[in-house]
Structure 1
Amino acid sequence: MSFLSSFDISASGMSAQRMRMDIAAENIANIDTTRTASGGPYRRKDVVLENYGSGSFEEALRNAANGKGFASRNVGVRVSGIIEDDREFKRVYDPDHPDADAQGYVNMPNVDLLKETVDSMSATRSYEANVTALNAMKLMAQKALEIGK
């Protein structure tokens, strides 16, 4: 693995975690949205992440043992898609609500505030871990440049 690919890995991780935080914030912002452009209440969204470029762990280990490093400099994680949660909506009895059905029930978004809070905290911690790794690599590069003085 080349030294610069370490920066790419951390940068891709930070970008992916930022997207997770953005989606969690969007879900929280729409926790009471009962009417969307597509009709019906807001559906919770989730981010799907995938690794790319590195191949399998076995392949990476074999390449490292042979001194080849990674075959590709483009390694890391990326957002492969944003999916909607297909769980059922919460039904709340509120006959005065403008979106209530004939029985007085309103379909509310399938967003759970506790889950969104945990997801955003997890994304924040992962983002911080990538920043820490990036700073460690930066410090190693600075120390390597000082060796030649």
Structure 2
Amino acid sequence: MLDAIGIAGSALTVHRKWLDAVSDNLANANTATATDGEAFRARYVLAQAGAENTGVYVAGAEFGDAEGRIVHEPDHPLADEEGNVRYPDIDMSEQMGSLIMAQRGYQVNAAVVDRAKETYQAALQIGRNQ
């Protein structure tokens, strides 16, 4: 049972970091920069299985393209002489799909921790009643 709690706990950490990355990406999807600068770079969490069934861990992060996309907005305060600004190349539907998957994964692993805890407590009660 303690292994189940440890494994699910490691997955909770990965899913929390995944949720953090997705929320950061969504919050910055409309962040404009000047065309001579870099666009916000979306962050993608890389997960890796632990050795000998010890759970899952964050192995690192990858970042999206700093090139972004150029949009013609001559009235924008950051527009260049041609009226262009740079936005991140973030696919909102992809990010929303990732948000749902990370959220569901977090919920499932939190439920595993709760059930394992309840099972452990029930086992302790059995030992006390004898």
CA distance in structure 2 between the aligned counterparts of 1:42 and 1:10, rounded to whole angstroms = 32
- Residue of structure 1 equivalent to 2:28: 30
- Normalising by structure 1, we get a TM-score of 0.75
- Give 4+ residue runs of structure 1 displaced > 4 Å after superposition: none
The alpha-carbon deviation at position 145 of structure 1 amounts to 1.4
Pair 1:77 & 2:75 matched? no
Bigger drift between 9-18 and 107-116 goes to 107-116
- Residue of structure 2 equivalent to 1:17: 15
Contact kept, 8 Å, 1:8 with 1:76, in 2: the verdict is: yes
Instruction: Name the SS of the counterpart of 2:86 in structure 1.
Output: strand
Pairing partner for 1:53 from 26, 51, 54: 51
Count of residue pairs the alignment pairs up: 126
Q: Cα RMSD (Å) of the superposition?
A: 2.0
- Residue of structure 2 equivalent to 1:93: 72
- Residue of structure 2 equivalent to 1:112: 91
Contact kept, 8 Å, 1:93 with 1:106, in 2: the verdict is: yes
The alpha-carbon deviation at position 97 of structure 1 amounts to 2.3
Unaligned runs of 5+ in 2: none
Sequence identity (%):
31
Contact kept, 8 Å, 2:15 with 2:106, in 1: the verdict is: yes
Instruction: Name the SS of the counterpart of 1:82 in structure 2.
Output: strand
Contact kept, 8 Å, 1:92 with 1:105, in 2: the verdict is: yes
Deviations 1:71-115 (A, max 9, x none): xxxx11111111111385222111222333443332211112222
CA distance in structure 2 between the aligned counterparts of 1:120 and 1:76, rounded to whole angstroms = 21
CA distance in structure 2 between the aligned counterparts of 1:42 and 1:98, rounded to whole angstroms = 17
CA distance in structure 1 between the aligned counterparts of 2:51 and 2:29, rounded to whole angstroms = 37
Bigger drift between 117-126 and 84-93 goes to 84-93
